[in-house]
Structure 1
Amino acid sequence: MRYLDNAATTPVRAEVLEAMMPFLTRWFGNPSSHHTVGEAAASALDDARSRVAAVLGMRRGDVVFTSGGTEANNLAVKGIAVAAQANRGARRVVTTPIEHESILQSADYLRRIHGFDIDVLPVDATGRVDAADLAAAIGDDTAIVSIGYANNEIGTIQDAAALGAATRARGVPLHLDAVQAAGWLPLRDLGADALTLAGHKLGAPKGTGVLAVRGRIPLEPLLHGGGQERGRRSGTEDVAGAVGIATALELAEAEHAESAARVGALRDAFVARVLATVPRAALTGHPALRLPGTASFVFPGTSGEAILLELERRGVVSSSGSACAAGSDDPSHVLTALGLDADVARTAVRFTFPHDLSTPPDDVADALAASVAAVGSAG
Structure 2
Amino acid sequence: MQTTYYFDHAATTPMHPAVAEEMLRIMQGTGGNPSSMHAYGRAAKQLIARARDTIAAAIGSKSAEIVFTSGGTEGDNMAIIGAIRAMARKGRRHIVTSAAEHHAVLHTCEWLVEEGFSVTVLPVDEYGRVSPKDVANAMTPETGLVTIMHANNEVGTLNQVLEIGWIVKDAGALFHVDAVQSFALTEYAMSESPIDLMTLSAHKINGPQGVGALYIANGTPFEPLAHGGSQERKRRAGTENVAGIAGFAKAVDICVNNRKEKQHLLEHLRKEWIDKLSRLEGVPIVVNGHPTDRLPHIANISFIGIDTETMLMNLDMEGIAAASGSACTSGALERSHVLRAMNLSEERLLSAVRFSFGLGNTMEELEGAAQKVATIAARIRTTV
Q: TM-score range by the shorter chain?
A: over 0.9
1:246 maps to which of 242, 246, 249: 249
1:323 paired residue number: 327
Give 1:186 shift.
Answer: 1.8
List gaps (5 residues or longer) in structure 2: none
Q: Which moved more, 1:362-371 or 1:273-282?
A: 273-282
Give 1:17 shift.
Answer: 1.7
Cα distance in 1 for partners of 2:13, 2:29 equals 27
Query: Does residue 291 in structure 1 map to residue 295 in structure 2?
Result: yes
Cα distance in 2 for partners of 1:308, 1:246 equals 34
Cα distance in 1 for partners of 2:347, 2:32 equals 53
Pairs within 5 Å for 1:358-377? 358-377=360-379
* Deviations 1:181-229 (CA, angstroms, capped at 9, x unpaired): 0112223345311111111111111101110110211111111111211
1:27, 1:40 within 8 Å by CA — same for their partners in 2? no
2:164 paired residue number: 163
2:96 paired residue number: 94
Query: Does residue 65 in structure 1 map to residue 47 in structure 2?
Result: no
2:286 maps to which of 274, 282, 287: 282
29 and 118 in structure 1: CA distance in 2 versus 1, 3 angstrom threshold: same
Cα distance in 2 for partners of 1:337, 1:375 equals 27
Give 1:343 shift.
Answer: 6.2
Give 1:371 shift.
Answer: 2.1
- Secondary structure in structure 1 of the residue aligned to 2:156: coil
342 and 232 in structure 1: CA distance in 2 versus 1, 3 angstrom threshold: farther
- Secondary structure in structure 2 of the residue aligned to 1:351: strand
1:302 paired residue number: 306
Give 1:162 shift.
Answer: 1.2
1:164, 1:174 within 8 Å by CA — same for their partners in 2? yes
Cα distance in 1 for partners of 2:21, 2:227 equals 32
Aligned partner of 1:14: which letter?
P
For normalisation by structure 1, the TM-score amounts to 0.95
Cα distance in 2 for partners of 1:377, 1:193 equals 51
1:64, 1:233 within 8 Å by CA — same for their partners in 2? yes
Query: Does residue 15 in structure 1 map to residue 39 in structure 2?
Result: no
Identical residues among aligned pairs (%)? 37
1:348 paired residue number: 352
Q: Which moved more, 1:268-277 or 1:285-294?
A: 268-277
* Deviations 1:43-67 (CA, angstroms, capped at 9, x unpaired): 1111111111111111111111000
2:102, 2:153 within 8 Å by CA — same for their partners in 1? yes
* Deviations 1:253-307 (CA, angstroms, capped at 9, x unpaired): 2212211112102211222332343533211111121211111112232121221
Cα distance in 2 for partners of 1:7, 1:315 equals 18
Cα distance in 2 for partners of 1:208, 1:346 equals 34
Query: Does residue 205 in structure 1 map to residue 208 in structure 2?
Result: yes
Give 1:374 shift.
Answer: 2.0
Aligned partner of 2:357: which letter?
F
1:257 paired residue number: 260
* Deviations 1:48-102 (CA, angstroms, capped at 9, x unpaired): 111111111111111110001000000001110111102x111111110011000
- Secondary structure in structure 1 of the residue aligned to 2:146: strand
2:69, 2:212 within 8 Å by CA — same for their partners in 1? yes
Cα distance in 2 for partners of 1:378, 1:213 equals 50
Q: CA RMSD in A?
A: 1.5
- Secondary structure in structure 2 of the residue aligned to 1:216: coil
Cα distance in 1 for partners of 2:101, 2:78 equals 15
1:303, 1:378 within 8 Å by CA — same for their partners in 2? no
Aligned partner of 2:139: which letter?
I
1:331, 1:342 within 8 Å by CA — same for their partners in 2? no
